[in-house]
């Protein structure tokens, strides 16, 4: 029984350490079978299947019936999108939903009933699944002819609940809401007071010529509100004030006051509030991650402690190094960390580890990964050594940059000269010839660098990888161009022969050359800092991007459902409000169609509120459209952009401080995560806190 017990303890320790590595909570069942299930559930393949399922269910929107995913977005020219038969997408959906049902039941079983009652996310998950399945049954029983499909709006929830970072971020956003609400309220008061002012100021006059402002923008309350709301987005900025301004310059004071107060003060105050609130919460969430990691490590220590120890000796609990080796063998972790831990375990002379030593051993996990570049090859020949010195010198890199710049400039000159030429007059000889020489130089440069640094060392620098890959692609393109079209000669502009015309080939080569020019960035110090900050930001931004995807998705689906009938091709106009002469308008809107999935990603909203509501200002659809677009503007443009700015400020300021402190160590590349960013300000949890948390564990019952 002791052997089995020992095995159980080792398995428990393995799982706890894996929890610590992944910042997971340790509050799950710890009996043998549950541990096996737990490790299986969190194994790479299972999580990969879950991720795939989420991707598939989200991607379904692109092929489902009211989708508009066609090559062109112009409703006049585009072909009708593929209409899958009823039951095809639905059966894929059912499969996905069943995977989720399985997921939620495993998760619920693993954490046990007591924890389940505390986890609102899991309950919401179950609720979402129940609603989705019900909606699915309703949908199939109507043979896919029903229009309102709630389950589509609920889909992004599956993405949300699967990422702990996204849940944390959402919590942070949630706790900022009261402050944001106060500013939004202030914005609303500002807007409504100025609207009343505007209606009193730009009232209808007896002289029909004089009230252009009234006719255009302040005809009634909804119009006035819309005009000023759009002014807040600066989309109609000078237009709205031009009629009044040309009547009397003093009217501009009203608009300037409104813009300065609303746009400059209140909007930026929102940034300040979000930055201020968010700063603290991000730190807090990172702190709680650290706490989870320490708890996991401590729990592993506790279960490894042999129970037979006498109470007298209990003050100095110890873990045998042999047990730890067994655990480490089983744990799935970054090989670099594992190596480091085993190495330091072997070098330490003692046979048993105390809690502090155990904890210290695993601090390797928190450390930056310092990347060591492989050494250059050592050549015997004196000539080779000289070559090596020359071609690994930084001046050689600079020469490469200068050549790349020259190439860019030559392309630019050709573009400017060819700008107004007819395609038939164009001669690709000059560009083809110089590009050929430049690409030869790039190839030579790459080969010489590899010779000087050795392939391993060359490849270990990201900038070289970028460079080498692009040079390779350029070479292949150039060779295939020559193979198909022959060598460049004056009047070198043959017709289409292969997959791409010569002109397209040359364009592609030029684009790649322009892209390759980005290699200069690491050579400029401040620019490198800026770019690394941006790259960091992208890493830390995944949670935000996820939430943005969730919001986009929900809005897109809602938009498709709301405005499905509103936009129709020109040949066959069906108007919402009968008898309204909306031909022209329908075409305009169809061109800038909102309900379209990809179009969302740009800042379309301000222009759209304006156009759609201006054009359709007496239609029923406009009421809904207005509310929809205002909500969209508030969430995407105001709140999300401000969150982004807050994160960027946070990131940049930390980075900048670090840059100033560690200027000397600039050669070492650090891994950058949100955890590491805050490492200097994080507090280590105390022994008491850790033990208290361990004693609260619902399944693990420590005897001391």
Footprint of a copy of itself on residues 618-677 (CB under 8 A)? Answer: 641, 644-645, 648-649, 651-653, 656
Q: Does 199 bind a copy of itself (CB under 8 A)?
A: yes
Cα–Cα distance between 195 and 222 in angstroms, integer? Answer: 9
351 phi, psi to nearest 5 deg: -95, -25
First and final C-alpha spacing in the chain: 21
Among 301, 604, 628, 629, binds a copy of itself (CB under 8 A): 604
| By CB under 8 A, residue 312 contacts a copy of itself | no
As measured in angstroms, the least distance from the Cβ of 199 to a copy of itself is: 5
Please state, in angstroms and as integers, the Cα–Cα distance from residue 186 to each residue in 189, 234, 400, 648, following that order.
Answer: 5, 18, 56, 26
* 33 vs 206 by CB, closer to a copy of itself: 206
Contact assessment for residue 509 and residue 393, using Cβ atoms and an 8 Å cutoff: no
283 CB-contact burial (10 Å; exposed 0-12 / middle 13-18 / buried 19+) = middle
Q: By CB under 8 A, tell whether 37 contacts a copy of itself.
A: no
- The site string for a copy of itself over 59-78 (x = CB under 8 A, - otherwise) reads ----------xxxxxx--x-
Distance CA(593)–CA(608), nearest Å, equals 9
Residues 454-513 within binding reach of a copy of itself (CB under 8 A): 503, 507, 510-511
Three-state DSSP class for residue 353: strand
Shortest CB 345 distance to a copy of itself, Å? 43
Cβ proximity to a copy of itself, 63 vs 530, nearer residue? 530
User: Distance between CA atoms of 26 and 15, rounded to whole angstroms?
Assistant: 9
Residue 636's Cβ-side half-sphere holds a number of Cα atoms within 13 Å equal to 23
Q: Minimum distance between the CB of residue 223 and a copy of itself, rounded to whole angstroms? A: 9
Q: Between 2-21 and 321-330, two packed helices, what is the crossing angle to 10 degrees?
A: 60
Return the number of the residue (314 or 538) whose C-beta is nearest a copy of itself.
538
Residue closer to a copy of itself by CB (options 71, 143) is 71
Residues 95-114 that bind a copy of itself (CB under 8 A): none
CB of 583 to a copy of itself, least distance (A): 18
* DSSP H/E element including 192: helix 164-201
Q: Which of 393, 539, 591, 662 binds a copy of itself (CB under 8 A)?
A: 591
Q: How many residues bind a copy of itself (CB under 8 A)?
A: 100
Asked whether position 423 contacts a copy of itself by CB under 8 A, the answer is: yes
| Contacting a copy of itself within 238-277 (CB under 8 A) | 238-239, 241-242, 245-250, 252, 255-256, 259, 263-265, 268-269, 271-273, 275-276
CA-to-CA dists, residue 685 to 25, 112, 180, 297, 511, angstroms: 15, 26, 32, 12, 53
Query: Which H or E element spans position 642?
Result: helix 641-661
Interaction of residue 356 with a copy of itself, rule CB under 8 A? no
Q: Sign of the C-alpha dihedral, residues 134, 136, 140, 143?
A: positive
Torsion angle of C-alpha atoms 543, 545, 547, 553, degrees rounded to 10: -150
> Judged by CB under 8 A, does residue 424 bind a copy of itself?
yes
CB of 449 to a copy of itself, least distance (A): 24
Give the shortest CB-258-to-a copy of itself separation in angstroms: 10
Do residues 589 and 611 make contact, with C-beta atoms less than 8 angstroms apart? yes
Assess 582 for contact with a copy of itself (CB under 8 A). no
In terms of CB distance, is 132 or 651 closer to a copy of itself?
651
- Give the shortest CB-321-to-a copy of itself separation in angstroms: 48
Residue among 290 and 411 whose Cβ is closer to a copy of itself: 411
Instruction: Provide the minimum distance between the beta carbon of 508 and a copy of itself in the complex, in angstroms, as a whole number.
Output: 8
Q: What is the DSSP letter of 319?
A: E
Q: Which is nearer to a copy of itself, 157 or 628 (CB)?
A: 628
Smallest distance from a copy of itself to CB 290, Å: 24
Q: Which of 59, 88, 124, 193 forms a contact with a copy of itself (CB under 8 A)?
A: 193
- Enumerate the β-bridge partners of residue 320: 352
- Residue whose tokens read 């169809």: 590
Do the beta carbons of residue 164 and residue 286 sit within 8 Å?
no
Task: Report the site for a copy of itself in 503-562 (rule: CB under 8 A).
Answer: 503, 507, 510-511, 514-515, 517-518, 524, 526-527, 530-531, 533-534, 537
Q: Dihedrals φ, ψ of 352, to 5°?
A: -130, 150
Residue selected from 360, 603, 658, 699 as contacting a copy of itself according to rule CB under 8 A: 603
**198 contacts: CB under 8 Å, gap ≥ 6:** 218, 224, 227, 228, 254
Nearer to a copy of itself, 415 or 444 (CB): 415
Cα–Cα dist 570/586, whole Å: 8
Please identify, using beta-carbon distances, which residue of 30 and 643 lies nearer to a copy of itself.
Answer: 643
Pick the closer one to a copy of itself by CB: 125 or 628: 628
C-alpha 623/C-alpha 610 separation (Å) is: 13
Nearest CA to 267 out of 343, 175, 191, 167 is that of 191
**Closest separation in Å from C-beta 108 to a copy of itself:** 39
């Amino acid at each position: 029984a002791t052997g089995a017990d020992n095995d159980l303890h080792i398995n428990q320790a393995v799982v706890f350490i894996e929890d610590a590595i992944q910042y997971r909570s340790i509050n799950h069942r710890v009996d043998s079978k549950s541990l096996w299930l737990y490790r299986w559930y969190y194994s790479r393949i299972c999580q990969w299947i879950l991720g795939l399922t989420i991707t598939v269910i989200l991607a379904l929107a692109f092929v489902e019936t009211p989708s508009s995913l066609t090559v062109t977005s112009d409703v006049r020219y585009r072909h009708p999108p593929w209409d899958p038969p009823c039951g095809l997408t639905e059966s894929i959906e059912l499969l996905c939903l069943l995977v989720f049902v399985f997921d939620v039941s495993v998760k619920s079983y693993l954490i046990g009933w007591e924890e389940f009652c505390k986890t609102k996310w899991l309950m919401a998950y179950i609720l979402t699944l129940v609603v989705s399945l019900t909606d699915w049954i309703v949908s199939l029983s109507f043979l896919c002819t029903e229009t309102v499909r709630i389950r589509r709006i609920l889909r992004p929830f599956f993405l949300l609940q699967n990422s702990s970072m996204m849940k944390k971020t959402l919590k942070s956003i949630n706790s900022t809401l009261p402050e944001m609400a106060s500013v939004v309220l202030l914005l609303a008061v500002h807007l409504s007071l100025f609207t009343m002012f505007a209606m009193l100021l730009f009232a209808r006059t007896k002289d029909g010529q004089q009230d252009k402002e009234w006719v255009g923008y302040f005809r009634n309350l909804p119009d006035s509100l819309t005009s000023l709301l759009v002014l807040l987005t600066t989309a109609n900025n000078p237009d709205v004030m031009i009629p009044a301004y040309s009547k009397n310059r003093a009217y501009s004071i009203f608009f300037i006051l409104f813009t300065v107060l609303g746009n400059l003060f209140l909007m930026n105050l929102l940034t300040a509030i979000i930055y201020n609130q968010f700063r603290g919460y991000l730190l807090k969430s990172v702190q709680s991650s650290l706490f989870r990691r320490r708890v996991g490590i401590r729990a592993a220590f506790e279960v490894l402690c042999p129970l037979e120890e006498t109470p007298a000796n209990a003050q100095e609990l110890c873990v045998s190094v042999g047990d730890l080796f067994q655990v480490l063998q089983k744990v799935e972790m970054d090989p670099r960390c594992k190596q480091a831990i085993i190495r330091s375990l072997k070098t330490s002379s003692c046979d048993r580890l105390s809690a502090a030593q155990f904890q210290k051993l695993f601090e390797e996990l928190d450390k930056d990964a310092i990347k060591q570049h492989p050494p250059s090859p050592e050549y015997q020949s004196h000539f080779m050594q000289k070559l090596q010195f020359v071609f690994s010198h930084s001046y050689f890199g600079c020469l490469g940059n200068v050549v790349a710049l020259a190439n860019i400039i030559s392309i630019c000159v050709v573009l400017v000269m060819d700008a107004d030429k007819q395609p038939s007059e164009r001669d690709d000889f000059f560009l083809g010839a110089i590009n050929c020489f430049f690409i030869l130089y790039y190839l030579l440069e790459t080969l010489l660098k590899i010779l000087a640094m050795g392939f391993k060392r060359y490849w270990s620098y990201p900038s070289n990888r970028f460079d080498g890959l692009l040079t390779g692609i350029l070479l292949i393109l150039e060779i295939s161009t020559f193979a198909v079209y022959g060598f460049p000669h004056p009047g070198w502009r043959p017709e289409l022969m292969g997959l791409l015309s010569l002109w397209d080939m040359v364009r592609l080569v030029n684009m790649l050359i322009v892209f390759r020019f980005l290699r200069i960035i690491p050579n400029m110090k401040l620019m490198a800092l800026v770019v690394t900050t941006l790259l960091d930001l992208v890493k830390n931004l995944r949670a935000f991007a996820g939430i943005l995807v969730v919001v986009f998705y929900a809005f897109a689906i809602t938009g498709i459902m709301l405005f499905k009938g509103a936009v129709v091709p020109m040949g066959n106009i069906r108007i919402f409000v009968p008898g309204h002469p909306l031909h022209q308008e329908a075409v305009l809107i169809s061109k800038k169609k909102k309900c379209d999935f990809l179009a969302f990603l740009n800042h379309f909203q301000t222009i759209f509120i304006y156009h759609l509501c201006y054009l359709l200002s007496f239609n029923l659809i406009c009421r809904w459209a207005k509310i929809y677009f205002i909500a969209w503007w508030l969430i995407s443009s105001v709140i999300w952009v401000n969150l982004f700015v807050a994160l960027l400020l946070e990131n940049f300021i930390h980075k900048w401080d670090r840059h100033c402190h560690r200027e000397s160590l600039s050669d070492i590349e650090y891994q950058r995560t949100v955890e590491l960013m805050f490492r200097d300000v994080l507090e280590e949890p105390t022994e008491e806190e850790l033990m208290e948390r361990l004693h609260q564990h619902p399944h693990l019952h420590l005897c001391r």
